[in-house]
Structure 1
Amino acid sequence: PVDLVVSIIVKRFEILQIVVVILLYINCLMMFTFLKKEAFRSDTRYVLFAQTLFIDSSLILLSDLALTGVYFQLEIHFAICCIFALIMKMFIILTPLTLVAMCLERYVAICMPLRHADISTPRTRTICILLVWIISAVLPLFMVISSAFVLTPRFLFTYVVCSAEVMFLQSWQSTVQNILLQLYFVTMFGVILFTYIMIMKAAKKASADKKKSTHKGLRTVILHGLQLLLTMVQFICPYYEAAALEVSLVLFVNIRYADFIVFVLAPRCLSPLVYGIRDEKFFTVLRNYALFGLYVSVSRCVGVTKQRSQAKTKPLEM
């Protein structure tokens, strides 16, 4: 029945909004934690992590708006949708590229510890971030240039249900995009695989006291590789979603809902897991802000109580 289908769609949408709000709250809390501590703002590792949080939060918000438009078949001005699509494409590529930069930073820290301080400087950090943004702009730039040759003036005054593929009106545009995405993926996956192999070699040679941190770095690279795979699969989603739309709207909505959870939300849950929970230094500060300072206050009270009890039980010195 139509009423049952509509009820299920609305229920899913409500659940999804709750999940999105929770994720955005966690990411904002982590960004606040990063900004409050100078030690984090001066560390390349945490600076790249903060960039990932910003990109992921922005992309979750934009993707959720796009999904809302599809659910309710909301039409917006074509020109506004084009700007929306360009930002989404750039942010989708920014996330895996930043992950690659984070893997390289771990490679330098573990495999070249003596040179890490010389390499990881504010200057190299700025250059790295600029390169990531410039490389990410290649695909959106292609979209703008190709659309200038394809789009007619009448398109600029139409209203459409917005999606990331709205600017691709010719098949050759999708073909060139696929070539660029494959080039992105092969290059990024190759770099992550290289860092994994080198860190694994370093783990075998590491002394007993360094093995723990080395293996932790290895697991971090593996998680980043998983993030990369899930993120890049997102690029092929529009193609089978379009095929599903030709079958039925219900099938299209179901697939779009599943894709949003698996390929948009899931990869962006891993960044808080990798650095927000597994990183003891960051997690300690994060926990304090999450509990509005209660954790530190309780810890201090417990410490003072222990000191007093020890002072009472300590025998008098003659």
Structure 2
Amino acid sequence: MTFSNQSLTNVSTEQQYQGLLERGLFSALTSVPCFVFLFINVTMLFTLRSKSVFCETSRYILLYNLLFADTAQLVVSQLLYILAFCRMKLTYPVCGALTLIAVLANEISPLTLVLMSLERYVAVCYPLRHATIITTRNTAVAIIVVWAFSSLNVLIRVVLLLEFPFEDLESLQMKDFCSNIAMSIGPMSVDYDKAYTCFLFVSAAVAITSSYIGVMIAARSASTDKASAHKARNTLLLHLVQLGLSLSSTIYTPMLIALSKSLARLLFVRVQNVFYVCIFIFPRCLSSLIYGIRDQTIRPILVYHLCCRLKLSAKSEVSP
């Protein structure tokens, strides 16, 4: 009996070790790319504030707003991931605040993509009026409207959360890890989330597609700059791809709910880690990669800042 108990204990210890080892491996595989892309995003944000041309040009101002929202979403998502990895459970108010910040940042991205698409549409279809329509002041007003609209949605979500009878709970301490799934604690919240998500992305898709069609029609006109129209068309296609990737993050939660009912716990955790990298991390760094490589004005300055920071970090590691 003693030998048998010792064998069972050894097996149990080995399984726990393998589980911890696998968790650590998955955590490294997801955290390392996240921190690398955070480094690139922060450098890109710094680049967009390093020259006056970036601060005074509408499309760069909109790009800064898009990158800021993506970076905030990436930070909050990674924070929640680390908390779940460390088995730390939050209270409902703290988890609610974090998830609402993530929701706010996630909804800023598609609305900013709409503004960027409209800016390209005006630049190609109304080149003579572009300077008077797309001004720094009008861009700032549009960004304020986007943040106000998204904040109103967050406020509605808070009101719906307040309808939940928290006073009936023994404690505000959550029994599960903090996530959007854990904060979907009422049928009205779930229904509102689905309706708003559909409305937001259908509207954004219609706006970007309409801009693309308008640019295509304008490109056939003899009075339109063919090179500018071709470049704007490619940019709008990229905006559609970015919108699709942003939409994938909204179906992340329902997809996990469906998979959790059919997959074993260990396999589900593995799939969840893969989805986290593909759906959350990769789309949040796409904007920096796209504009950092394609834009001839941003590329040399971004490379300069990246190389300087890498050299400084290398020197700090070498120095005693």
Q: TM-score, normalised by structure 2?
A: 0.85
Q: Distance between the aligned counterparts of 1:259 and 1:286, measured in 2?
A: 29
Pairing partner for 2:265 from 249, 256, 261 = 249
Which residue, 302, 306, 309 being the options, matches 1:286?
302
1:129 and 2:129 matched: no
Secondary structure of 1:157's aligned partner: coil
Check conservation: 1:103, 1:195, Cα contact below 8 A: yes
RMSD: 2.0
Q: Which amino acid aligns with 2:94?
A: I
2:249 matches 1:215: no
Matches within 5 A, 1:192-231: 192-205=208-221, 210-231=225-246
Letter in 2 for 1:64: Q
| Equivalent residue runs for 1:136-155 within 5 Å | 136-153=150-167, 155=169
Alignment-derived partner of residue 88 in structure 1: 102
Q: Assess if the C-alpha contact under 8 Å between 1:244 and 1:251 holds in 2.
A: no
Give CA deviations for 1:186-223 in whole Å, capped at 9, x if unaligned: 10000000011011112222569x32232111111111
Which 5+ residue runs of structure 2 have no aligned equivalent? 1-14, 310-320
Post-superposition Cα deviations, 1:30-64, rounded to whole Å, max 9, x if no partner, equal 11111110011000100011111111111111111
1:286 aligned partner, one-letter code: L
Q: Which position in structure 2 is the counterpart of 1:237?
A: 252
Conservation of the 8 A alpha-carbon contact between 1:76 and 1:162:
yes
The alignment-based identity, stated in percent, is: 29
Summarize deviations over 1:273-303 as a string: whole Å, max 9, x none.
Answer: 321110001112222323339xxxxxxxxxx
Quote the residue 2:200 is aligned against: 184
Task: State how far apart, in whole Å, the 2-side matches of 1:242 and 1:72 are.
Answer: 22
Q: 1:211 to 1:5 in 2, by over 3 A?
A: farther
- In 1, the alpha carbon distance for the partners of 2:219 and 2:284 equals 28
Instruction: State how far apart, in whole Å, the 1-side matches of 2:222 and 2:159 are.
Output: 51
Contact 1:60 1:265 in 2 (8 A): yes
- Structure 2: how far apart are the matches of 1:16 and 1:192? 32
Q: Structure 1: how far apart are the matches of 2:83 and 2:265? A: 14
Task: Within 5 Å, give how 1:1-318 maps onto structure 2.
Answer: 3-153=17-167, 155=169, 157-159=172-174, 160-205=176-221, 210-246=225-261, 247-292=263-308
Name the TM-score, length of structure 1 as normaliser.
0.85
- Greater relative CO, 1 or 2 (CA 8 Å, sep 6+): 2
CA distance 1:243–1:6, change in 2 (3 Å) = farther
C-alpha offsets along residues 106-145 of structure 1, whole Å, 9 cap, x if unaligned? 1111111111100111221111001111221233222111
Deviation sequence 1:213-270 (CA, Å, 0-9, x none): 3211111111111111111121122123134345433233223212222221222232
Could you tell me whether the CA contact under 8 Å between 2:166 and 2:172 is conserved in 1? Answer: no
What per-residue deviation string (whole Å, max 9, x for no partner) do you get for residues 49-81 of structure 1? 111111111111111111222333320122111
Segment of structure 1 superposing worse, 29-38 or 266-275: 266-275
Matches of 1:256 and 1:137, distance apart in 2: 29
CA distance in 2, matches of 1:206, 1:90: 43
Letter in 1 for 2:249: Q
4+ long deviations beyond 3 Å: 1-6, 243-248
SS of residue matched to 1:57: helix
